[in-house]
Structure 1
Amino acid sequence: MFIHKIDENLSLKLVQLHDAERIFTLTNESRDYLQEWLPWLDDTTKLEHTKEYIKTSLKSFAESESMNTAILFKGDIVGVAGYNKINWANKTAYIGYWLGEKYQGNGIMTKVAKALTDYAFHELKLNKIEIWAAVENKKSRSIPERLGFVNEGCIRQAEWLYDHYVDHVVYGMLANEWKK
């Protein structure tokens, strides 16, 4: 099983079925907060939905198509982050993340995104990492900006969010840029 220690308080571990109850509870506790930017909340209304997500994630991990991890802060699951998709032909991974509302503002997600970027370049030997975020989602956008990712442009109406489309900014980092 994948476990990656970031610092004394923070680590990532591959999501497992026994994490479903905690992840679902965290989702419910932060539902209104997360719903502003994440389109899957209306489809995650029962514990069984989270279990299905984890089963799908584990299958995709086994097939080397993605890697979704639970974020552990002081031993407690506080969010989910990982590679939503890994494109091995182009050596590109797409990082996605969410954090429970009460854990915001502690620098957790910046450390997580940095660790995932390091791992992708140094362990997986990928060439590029992308992070997409809604144009108006300033908190999510601040993470790749803080890490020095390049704003590569805007994808218009990139995502349907309940009752409207949102544009996404695409941030990219190349392996040779990260080493500098």
Structure 2
Amino acid sequence: MFEHKLTEQLSLKLIDFQDADAIFTLTDENRMYLKEWLPWLDHIKEVNDTATFIRRCLQSHADNNGLHTVIVYDGHVVGMASFNSLNWANKTASIGYWVSEKVQGRGIVTAVAHDLTNYAFQQLNMNKVEIRAAAENQKSQRVPMKLGFTREGTIRQAEWLYDHYVDHVVFGMLASEWKDRVN
């Protein structure tokens, strides 16, 4: 099983069916918190729904157009991070993430997004990494801003969120910019 340690406390592990109970429990415990920004919570009502999601994640990985991981902090699954899409023709990757409300503010997501960005450029040879966040989701926007991503613009009414549309702010990092930042 693939697991990548970022720090002594923090690692990313390729999602697996063995994670279904932990992910479902985490989702259920954080349902109201996550529902403010994530549109899929109403589709996850039982562990089998999570298993279906994991099946899609593993298929995406097998098809080489995505990579989904669980975030493990102090030995516990605390969220997920992924390349929601890998566009090989244009050499772009799109990062997504969420964590439990209990671990917010510890720099976990920033460290994970940094690691995924570095992986996209160093291992996957991507030219661009993109992170999108709802226009009102300041916490999520702070992640790419801390990493030096460029705010590229706003996509109006980009996502239906239960009963309304939300705009997305798009942040981008080019391989040449990242190389200058990490060297």
Is it true that 1:34 corresponds to 2:26 in the alignment?
no
The 5 A counterparts of 1:123-162 are: 123-162=123-162
For 1:132, the aligned partner's letter is R
- How many residue pairs align between the two structures? 180
Segments of 5+ residues of structure 1 without an aligned counterpart are none
Give the distance between the partners of 1:13 and 1:93, measured in 2 at CA.
18
Question: Residue 28 of structure 2: SS of its match in structure 1?
Answer: helix
Question: Residue 165 of structure 2: SS of its match in structure 1?
Answer: strand
Q: 1:21-68 CA distances to partner (integer Å, 9 max, x unpaired)?
A: 000000011100000000000011111110000011001101101000
Give the distance between the partners of 2:140 and 2:49, measured in 1 at CA.
25
Question: Residue 124 of structure 2: SS of its match in structure 1?
Answer: coil
Question: Residue 79 of structure 1: SS of its match in structure 2?
Answer: strand
For 1:52, the aligned partner's letter is T
Segments of 5+ residues of structure 2 without an aligned counterpart are none
What's the counterpart of residue 6 of structure 1? 6
Give the stretch that moved more between structures: 91-100 or 1-10. Answer: 1-10
Deviation at 1:141, TM superposition (A): 0.4
Give the distance between the partners of 1:164 and 1:24, measured in 2 at CA.
25
Give the distance between the partners of 1:154 and 1:10, measured in 2 at CA.
32
Question: Residue 179 of structure 1: SS of its match in structure 2?
Answer: helix
Deviation at 1:149, TM superposition (A): 0.2
User: Once superposed, which parts of structure 1, at least 4 consecutive aligned residues long, lie more than 6 Å away?
Assistant: none
Give the distance between the partners of 2:130 and 2:177, measured in 1 at CA.
13
Percent of aligned pairs sharing the same letter: 58
Deviation at 1:121, TM superposition (A): 0.4
Give the distance between the partners of 1:89 and 1:6, measured in 2 at CA.
29
Question: Residue 60 of structure 2: SS of its match in structure 1?
Answer: helix
For 1:16, the aligned partner's letter is D
Give the distance between the partners of 1:139 and 1:162, measured in 2 at CA.
20
The 5 A counterparts of 1:63-74 are: 63-74=63-74
What's the counterpart of residue 54 of structure 2? 54
For 1:34, the aligned partner's letter is L
What's the counterpart of residue 101 of structure 1? 101
Question: Residue 52 of structure 2: SS of its match in structure 1?
Answer: helix
Alignment root-mean-square deviation, CA = 0.6
Deviation at 1:2, TM superposition (A): 2.8
For 2:48, the aligned partner's letter is E
Question: Residue 98 of structure 2: SS of its match in structure 1?
Answer: strand
